[in-house]
Amino acid sequence: MLNDMLNLGVLISGRGTNLQAILDACAAGTCAAQVAVVLSNVADAYGLERARRAGVPAVCVPARKGERREEYDARLLEVLQAHEVDLVCLAGYMRILGKRLLAAYPQRILNIHPSLLPAFPGLEAQRAALEHGAKVSGCTVHFVDEGVDTGPIILQAAVPVYDEDDAETLAARILEREHEIYPRAIQLVAENRLRRQGRRVLGGQPGPVSPSMAVKEG
Ligand code: GAR
Protein backbone atom coordinates (compact mmCIF):
# COMPACT_ATOMS: atom_id res chain seq x y z
CA MET A 1 0.00 0.00 0.00
CA LEU A 2 1.27 3.45 -0.89
CA ASN A 3 1.26 5.87 2.01
CA ASP A 4 0.10 9.02 0.26
CA MET A 5 -3.05 7.41 -1.13
CA LEU A 6 -6.44 7.38 0.49
CA ASN A 7 -7.27 3.85 1.63
CA LEU A 8 -10.85 2.90 0.82
CA GLY A 9 -13.00 0.28 2.50
CA VAL A 10 -15.94 -0.51 0.20
CA LEU A 11 -19.02 -2.10 1.76
CA ILE A 12 -21.34 -4.03 -0.54
CA SER A 13 -24.27 -6.41 -0.45
CA GLY A 14 -24.67 -7.33 -4.11
CA ARG A 15 -23.40 -7.17 -7.67
CA GLY A 16 -20.93 -4.34 -7.06
CA THR A 17 -21.05 -2.27 -10.23
CA ASN A 18 -20.31 0.87 -8.22
CA LEU A 19 -17.41 -0.97 -6.60
CA GLN A 20 -16.19 -1.80 -10.12
CA ALA A 21 -16.41 1.87 -11.15
CA ILE A 22 -14.34 2.79 -8.09
CA LEU A 23 -11.77 0.04 -8.78
CA ASP A 24 -11.51 1.18 -12.41
CA ALA A 25 -11.10 4.86 -11.48
CA CYS A 26 -8.36 3.97 -8.98
CA ALA A 27 -6.59 1.82 -11.59
CA ALA A 28 -6.89 4.58 -14.20
CA GLY A 29 -5.49 7.16 -11.78
CA THR A 30 -8.58 9.40 -11.98
CA CYS A 31 -9.16 8.61 -8.32
CA ALA A 32 -6.14 9.15 -6.06
CA ALA A 33 -7.14 6.29 -3.82
CA GLN A 34 -6.86 2.54 -3.53
CA VAL A 35 -9.39 -0.02 -2.42
CA ALA A 36 -7.79 -1.60 0.65
CA VAL A 37 -10.62 -4.02 1.41
CA VAL A 38 -14.09 -4.96 0.20
CA LEU A 39 -16.56 -6.13 2.82
CA SER A 40 -19.89 -7.79 2.21
CA ASN A 41 -22.61 -8.92 4.57
CA VAL A 42 -23.83 -11.33 1.85
CA ALA A 43 -21.66 -14.39 1.16
CA ASP A 44 -22.43 -14.77 -2.55
CA ALA A 45 -22.36 -11.06 -3.45
CA TYR A 46 -20.77 -10.83 -6.90
CA GLY A 47 -18.86 -7.76 -5.80
CA LEU A 48 -16.60 -10.03 -3.71
CA GLU A 49 -15.56 -11.74 -6.94
CA ARG A 50 -14.85 -8.35 -8.54
CA ALA A 51 -12.59 -7.51 -5.60
CA ARG A 52 -10.67 -10.80 -5.85
CA ARG A 53 -10.17 -10.27 -9.58
CA ALA A 54 -8.71 -6.85 -8.86
CA GLY A 55 -6.37 -8.38 -6.26
CA VAL A 56 -8.16 -6.68 -3.37
CA PRO A 57 -8.89 -8.50 -0.08
CA ALA A 58 -12.56 -9.57 -0.11
CA VAL A 59 -14.06 -10.27 3.28
CA CYS A 60 -17.52 -11.58 4.02
CA VAL A 61 -18.98 -10.64 7.41
CA PRO A 62 -22.41 -12.26 7.67
CA ALA A 63 -24.58 -11.16 10.58
CA ARG A 64 -24.93 -13.78 13.29
CA LYS A 65 -28.35 -14.86 14.48
CA GLY A 66 -29.65 -12.44 17.10
CA GLU A 67 -26.54 -10.25 16.85
CA ARG A 68 -27.07 -6.60 17.81
CA ARG A 69 -26.14 -3.89 15.31
CA GLU A 70 -23.38 -2.58 17.56
CA GLU A 71 -21.82 -6.03 17.85
CA TYR A 72 -21.92 -6.53 14.12
CA ASP A 73 -20.43 -3.10 13.49
CA ALA A 74 -17.63 -3.80 15.96
CA ARG A 75 -16.64 -6.76 13.80
CA LEU A 76 -16.78 -4.61 10.66
CA LEU A 77 -14.69 -1.95 12.35
CA GLU A 78 -12.01 -4.49 13.23
CA VAL A 79 -11.63 -5.45 9.58
CA LEU A 80 -11.63 -1.82 8.40
CA GLN A 81 -8.99 -0.85 10.93
CA ALA A 82 -6.87 -3.92 10.19
CA HIS A 83 -6.71 -2.69 6.58
CA GLU A 84 -5.98 0.90 7.63
CA VAL A 85 -9.07 2.25 5.93
CA ASP A 86 -9.32 6.06 5.80
CA LEU A 87 -12.64 6.41 3.96
CA VAL A 88 -15.60 4.02 4.03
CA CYS A 89 -17.68 3.84 0.85
CA LEU A 90 -21.10 2.23 0.98
CA ALA A 91 -21.83 0.87 -2.49
CA GLY A 92 -25.14 -0.94 -2.49
CA TYR A 93 -24.63 -1.92 1.15
CA MET A 94 -28.08 -2.72 2.46
CA ARG A 95 -27.57 -2.45 6.22
CA ILE A 96 -27.87 0.59 8.45
CA LEU A 97 -24.66 1.58 10.21
CA GLY A 98 -24.59 1.87 14.00
CA LYS A 99 -23.29 4.74 16.11
CA ARG A 100 -19.97 3.07 16.83
CA LEU A 101 -18.95 2.87 13.19
CA LEU A 102 -20.14 6.43 12.54
CA ALA A 103 -18.11 7.67 15.50
CA ALA A 104 -14.99 5.83 14.30
CA TYR A 105 -15.19 7.53 10.88
CA PRO A 106 -16.61 11.04 11.38
CA GLN A 107 -17.25 12.69 7.97
CA ARG A 108 -15.45 9.71 6.50
CA ILE A 109 -18.32 7.51 5.34
CA LEU A 110 -19.94 8.04 1.94
CA ASN A 111 -23.03 6.46 0.42
CA ILE A 112 -24.55 6.42 -3.03
CA HIS A 113 -28.31 6.44 -3.40
CA PRO A 114 -30.35 6.07 -6.62
CA SER A 115 -32.54 9.17 -6.29
CA LEU A 116 -32.19 12.92 -5.99
CA LEU A 117 -32.27 13.10 -2.20
CA PRO A 118 -34.11 14.17 -0.13
CA ALA A 119 -36.70 12.69 -2.52
CA PHE A 120 -37.23 8.95 -2.28
CA PRO A 121 -34.91 7.74 0.49
CA GLY A 122 -34.89 4.06 1.46
CA LEU A 123 -35.47 0.95 -0.58
CA GLU A 124 -36.59 0.78 -4.23
CA ALA A 125 -35.99 4.47 -4.81
CA GLN A 126 -36.23 4.14 -8.59
CA ARG A 127 -39.65 2.47 -8.38
CA ALA A 128 -40.80 5.11 -5.88
CA ALA A 129 -39.77 7.95 -8.23
CA LEU A 130 -41.57 6.32 -11.13
CA GLU A 131 -44.75 5.61 -9.17
CA HIS A 132 -44.77 9.15 -7.79
CA GLY A 133 -44.71 10.49 -11.33
CA ALA A 134 -41.36 12.29 -11.11
CA LYS A 135 -40.14 13.59 -14.48
CA VAL A 136 -36.54 13.87 -13.35
CA SER A 137 -34.66 11.53 -11.05
CA GLY A 138 -31.00 10.68 -10.54
CA CYS A 139 -28.47 9.77 -7.92
CA THR A 140 -26.80 11.29 -4.89
CA VAL A 141 -23.47 10.78 -3.13
CA HIS A 142 -23.70 11.95 0.46
CA PHE A 143 -21.96 11.73 3.80
CA VAL A 144 -23.58 9.14 6.04
CA ASP A 145 -25.18 10.26 9.28
CA GLU A 146 -27.49 8.46 11.72
CA GLY A 147 -30.55 8.67 9.47
CA VAL A 148 -31.44 6.67 6.38
CA ASP A 149 -30.11 8.55 3.32
CA THR A 150 -30.27 11.85 5.21
CA GLY A 151 -26.62 12.99 5.34
CA PRO A 152 -25.12 16.11 3.70
CA ILE A 153 -25.08 15.94 -0.09
CA ILE A 154 -21.73 15.95 -1.93
CA LEU A 155 -22.71 15.39 -5.58
CA GLN A 156 -25.87 14.68 -7.55
CA ALA A 157 -26.62 13.83 -11.17
CA ALA A 158 -30.04 14.07 -12.79
CA VAL A 159 -31.60 11.88 -15.49
CA PRO A 160 -34.96 12.23 -17.27
CA VAL A 161 -37.84 9.86 -16.55
CA TYR A 162 -39.51 8.82 -19.81
CA ASP A 163 -43.12 7.74 -20.36
CA GLU A 164 -41.86 4.33 -21.51
CA ASP A 165 -39.74 3.70 -18.41
CA ASP A 166 -40.22 0.91 -15.93
CA ALA A 167 -38.21 0.60 -12.73
CA GLU A 168 -35.48 -1.40 -14.50
CA THR A 169 -34.90 1.00 -17.41
CA LEU A 170 -34.88 3.97 -15.06
CA ALA A 171 -32.49 2.18 -12.67
CA ALA A 172 -30.13 1.43 -15.58
CA ARG A 173 -30.11 5.09 -16.68
CA ILE A 174 -29.42 6.22 -13.11
CA LEU A 175 -26.72 3.59 -12.61
CA GLU A 176 -24.66 4.98 -15.49
CA ARG A 177 -24.52 8.32 -13.69
CA GLU A 178 -23.77 6.64 -10.34
CA HIS A 179 -20.62 5.20 -11.89
CA GLU A 180 -19.51 8.72 -12.82
CA ILE A 181 -20.27 10.63 -9.65
CA TYR A 182 -19.08 8.12 -7.03
CA PRO A 183 -15.43 8.10 -8.13
CA ARG A 184 -15.62 11.89 -8.59
CA ALA A 185 -16.88 12.35 -5.03
CA ILE A 186 -14.09 10.12 -3.69
CA GLN A 187 -11.57 12.18 -5.64
CA LEU A 188 -12.96 15.36 -4.04
CA VAL A 189 -12.34 13.81 -0.61
CA ALA A 190 -8.88 12.60 -1.68
CA GLU A 191 -7.98 16.13 -2.78
CA ASN A 192 -9.39 17.53 0.45
CA ARG A 193 -11.57 19.95 -1.50
CA LEU A 194 -14.77 19.69 0.47
CA ARG A 195 -15.80 21.96 3.31
CA ARG A 196 -18.96 22.04 5.39
CA GLN A 197 -21.25 25.02 5.94
CA GLY A 198 -24.14 23.71 8.01
CA ARG A 199 -25.77 21.02 5.90
CA ARG A 200 -24.09 22.31 2.75
CA VAL A 201 -20.99 20.63 1.38
CA LEU A 202 -19.05 23.15 -0.67
CA GLY A 203 -16.14 22.67 -3.02
CA GLY A 204 -17.60 19.96 -5.26
CA GLN A 205 -19.59 22.22 -7.54
CA PRO A 206 -17.88 25.56 -8.16
CA GLY A 207 -19.91 28.07 -10.15
CA PRO A 208 -19.13 29.22 -13.68
CA VAL A 209 -16.37 31.79 -13.80
CA SER A 210 -18.06 35.09 -14.63
CA PRO A 211 -16.50 37.03 -17.55
CA SER A 212 -15.63 39.93 -15.27
CA MET A 213 -13.65 37.58 -13.03
CA ALA A 214 -11.99 35.76 -15.92
CA VAL A 215 -10.59 38.87 -17.58
CA LYS A 216 -7.80 40.44 -15.58
CA GLU A 217 -7.70 44.20 -15.65
CA GLY A 218 -4.48 45.93 -16.56
C1 GAR B 1 -27.10 1.12 -6.65
O2 GAR B 1 -28.11 1.56 -7.52
C3 GAR B 1 -27.07 1.97 -5.40
O4 GAR B 1 -27.36 3.32 -5.64
C5 GAR B 1 -28.16 1.32 -4.60
O6 GAR B 1 -27.97 -0.05 -4.78
C7 GAR B 1 -27.43 -0.26 -6.08
C8 GAR B 1 -26.19 -1.11 -5.94
O9 GAR B 1 -25.72 -1.49 -7.21
N10 GAR B 1 -28.07 1.67 -3.21
C11 GAR B 1 -29.14 1.88 -2.45
O12 GAR B 1 -30.28 1.77 -2.84
C13 GAR B 1 -28.82 2.27 -1.02
N14 GAR B 1 -29.94 2.88 -0.41
P15 GAR B 1 -24.27 -2.08 -7.38
O16 GAR B 1 -24.14 -3.24 -6.37
O17 GAR B 1 -24.24 -2.58 -8.78
O18 GAR B 1 -23.27 -1.00 -7.10
Average pLDDT over residues 146-175: 98
* Nearest ligand 1 atom, CA 175: 2
Confidence of residue 215 (pLDDT cuts 50, 70, 90): low
pLDDT at 70 over 50: yes
Question: What pLDDT, on the 0 to 100 scale, is given for residue 31?
Answer: 97
Ligand 1 atom nearest residue 111's Cα: 13
Is 60 exceeded by the pLDDT of residue 2?
no
| Cα 84 to middle of ligand 1, angstroms | 25
pLDDT digits (tens, 9 = 90+) for 8-55: 999 999 999 999 999 999 999 999 999 999 999 999 999 999 999 999
Residue to mutate, 12, 17, 180, ligand 1, most ligand atoms under 8 Å from C-beta = 17
Query: What positions carry a catalytic annotation?
Result: 113
Q: Is the peptide bond before 206 cis (omega within 30 degrees of 0)?
A: no
- Choose one of 39, 94, 110, 112 to mutate for the ligand 1 pocket test, by most ligand atoms within 8 angstroms of C-beta: 112
For atom 6 of ligand 1, the residue with the nearest CA is 92
Query: What is the set of domains in the chain, with CATH numbers?
Result: 6-217 (3.40.50.170)
HEC letters along 117-175: CCCCCCCCHHHHHHHHCCCEEEEEEEECCCCCCCCCEEEEEEEECCCCCCHHHHHHHHH
Strand partners, 90: 11, 111
Ligand 1 pocket residues where CB is under 6 Å: 12, 14-18, 47, 91-92, 112-114, 125, 149, 175, 178
Q: How far is the CA of 8 from the centre of ligand 1 (A)?
A: 17
pTM of model > 0.75: yes
pLDDT at residue 214 tops 80: no
